[in-house]
Structure 1
């Protein structure tokens, strides 16, 4: 199966929290995802480059560079690429309105779907009280997160040797901690309220590494997830519906390149159609 034959085409793709520069970044998984998915427009919804970790220690393997080259290649082939910086790549907020190799930097954007709905696109750290008001605590939390991810890597190395598929221990643990669950709920509600205040039908964000398609009253909440724990992305179909793609569930191991191209299985249970958003 060739790349061209296997590629799924969408109107828009939304990707966030790839954390290139961090050792835990699943760059190779992302490269495969980009190989089999294409779109007229691609939103990079923040924390694509992890400036926080690069300041502490430089880590930029070839696979991270390949992700950048893959995105630039899509831009050269006609895709519109919009980069909305997050807190980990906040240095790019100083370049708002600039274009780099066909990639435009914006603080946020309003995306209109094929069926005419308007979605506020932003990273979401603006509504994280810890990030905004207690930067030291945010950095401490980032170090704790690194530790959890390190445990996750060891855990999945053992699972892979035993023949089990990838599973995010850190993501599971996060959803078992009451405070974390409460924070996620408050974050989702705050973003939905901001979208409503802006006169939009919904919001598309990242930041909290928890992919989600949900409804808050008449406002749609869409979170792209991440490429450290869950390896997820959001795709807009040509009818304006959204699809949550869990690539880690499609690709069983990092060695899947040795086998035939994977069968793409959309998460049918989590597709938001225009009629459901009304």
Structure 2
């Protein structure tokens, strides 16, 4: 299978370990690319909702695929988010080509890119974490109901429908929050002299130039793998948003079994359950 060669791939908000995670689709995407660098911009593993009873094989395969990038010599940066904030105490951990960080600054053709998850701009996260966690459970439940609804719609030959995206688009406060998030990130990046500011967290893929009275910056968001199924890609000096399209991937791609999928590989589920218990 030929892979697309790109300079940088950025994914965020995968939420492995939850019902809403589209791990199978993400796995197909990761198998289809050959990046020179992979950035995991937070909320990759949902430690908030991590359950020993739910961590399917597809979720494990995503982690194995990421580890395979490391063994293949591809630098992998794991930037912590709010759902995997337990990892923040281990920031600056470095193991070969794998680094665990809270933020990352890249030099791209002479321009600086500031990469971080973005939950620092979320007032709910800063002052009412219990409310944010409750909302996360409700969100995951909504996604599960939505998945069942879409299964029925597909069987009837109708288009899929996203409850949460419709709510975000129609609720004035949700739209306002997204706009404020983007504006705050942009203003801070301009003050620091960055050309790009790259976030996740709000599950809203975006690339746009934001201008203030102090300057301008390109704001980027990688979206998520719960609803949007998107990634950011940087290649030949240009940024783009990748949107997952099942029709572009063949049955051969779907059936492809790599070395990391063998049964004698690392028990990832057991590893993270043990890790969570040690931090509790």
Q: Could you list the per-position Cα deviations for residues 184-236 of structure 1 after superposition, in whole angstroms to 9, with x for gaps in the alignment?
A: 00000011112112221120110000001111111110000000011000000
Q: 1:159 and 1:216 mapped to 2: Cα distance?
A: 38
Cα gap change, 1:233 to 1:167, in 2 (>3 Å): farther
Conserved 8 A contact 1:233-1:244: yes
1:244 pairs with 2:238: no
Determine the C-alpha separation between the residues in 2 that align with 1:53 and 1:141. 12
Alpha-carbon deviation of 1:137?
A: 1.5
Number of residues of Structure 1 aligned to a counterpart in Structure 2 = 250
CA contact 1:165–1:252 (8 Å) conserved in 2: no
Q: In the alignment, what sits opposite 2:107?
A: 112
* TM-score, length basis structure 2: 0.84
Once the 2 structures are TM-superposed, how far is the Cα of residue 161 of structure 1 from its aligned partner? Answer: 1.4
Point out where structure 2 has 5 or more consecutive residues left out of the alignment: 255-280
Classify the secondary structure of the residue corresponding to 1:209.
coil
Does structure 1 residue 85 correspond to structure 2 residue 83?
no
CA deviation map 1:227-261 (0-9, x unaligned): 001100000012x21010111xx1159xx654788
Distance 2:140 2:159 in 1: 22
Q: What CA deviation, in whole Å up to 9, does each residue of 1:156-204 have, x standing for no partner?
A: 1112213345553322322211110000000000111121122211201
Aligned with residue 146 of structure 2, among 139, 143, 152? 152
Contact 1:225–1:232, Cα closer than 8 Å, also in 2: yes
* Residue 227 (str. 1) matches residue 225 (str. 2): yes
**In the alignment, is residue 10 of structure 1 matched against residue 6 of structure 2?**
yes
More displaced stretch, 169-178 vs 122-131: 169-178
The C-alpha deviation readout for 1:110-145, integer Å capped at 9, x for no partner, is 1222x3221110000011010011112212221221
- Pick the aligned partner of 1:194 from 179, 188, 192: 188
**Which secondary structure state, in structure 2, belongs to the residue aligned with residue 200 of structure 1?**
coil
8 Å Cα contact 1:72-1:101 kept in structure 2: no
State which drifts further: 25-34 or 71-80: 71-80
Partner residue, 1:34: 30
CA contact (8 A) 1:24 1:149 kept: yes
Show the counterpart of 1:52.
Answer: 48
Aligned residues of 1:119 and 1:201 also touching (Cα < 8 A) = yes
Instruction: Give the TM-score, by structure 1 length.
Output: 0.84
CA 1:201 to 1:60, structure 2 compared with 1: closer, same or farther past 3 Å? same
Which SS does the other structure have where 1:204 is aligned? strand
Equivalent position of 1:169 in the other structure: 163
Between the aligned partners of 2:49 and 2:210, the Cα distance in structure 1 is 34
For the residues of structure 2 that align with 1:164 and 1:33, how far apart are their CA atoms? 25
Which residues of structure 1 form unaligned runs of 5+?
262-278
Q: Deviations over 1:11-53 (max 9, x none)?
A: 0011000000111110000000001112111100000000000
Deviation for aligned residue 1:76: 1.1
User: Matched residues in 2 for 1:160 and 1:116: separation?
Assistant: 47
**Corresponding residue for residue 141 of structure 1:** 135
Instruction: State which drifts further: 162-171 or 102-111.
Output: 162-171
2-structure distance, mates of 1:70, 1:142: 26
Partner in structure 1 of residue 178 of structure 2? 184
| Separation of aligned partners in 1, 2:74 and 2:158 | 36
